[in-house]
Structure 1
Amino acid sequence: LARAVILAGETGGSLVVSMQRLAEYYESRDKLAKKVKGAAAYPVFVFSFITLILVLSLTCSIETGM
């Protein structure tokens, strides 16, 4: 993608504009990736916590013979 944008900018004589658009694209992509990681963090935490509780409860019930 970057190669094509740079080539188009060189060919069209607007390399600066092409580079700015490319920078904006990569910045927005990074921002979206951070949002996705942030949104996924809470469900992963909840799933891990529930799994821990389940394992502990099963372990305790096996040890007590219930």
Structure 2
Amino acid sequence: MYITGAKKLAQIRDNSNYFRSELQKMGFEVLGDEDSPVMPIMLYNPAKIPAFSRECLKNKA
């Protein structure tokens, strides 16, 4: 089934909000506006970046 228009945007918003809330539960500081699919996250420690990247790739995030 192909989703278009308003339904697609609503799905993106819902997925983004879910992802944002899960990152926050894990202790990440997530910047940006609620309902936005753009989510800058602050790792603050450069040593964490490779591990975070590997986990994202492993989980297809």
Which structure has more RCO (C-alpha within 8 Å, separation ≥ 6)? 2
TM-score normalised to structure 2 length: 0.39
TM value normalised by structure 1: 0.36
Which of the two has higher C-alpha Rg? Answer: 1
Determine which structure has the larger strand proportion and give its number.
2
Greater helix fraction, Structure 1 or Structure 2: 1
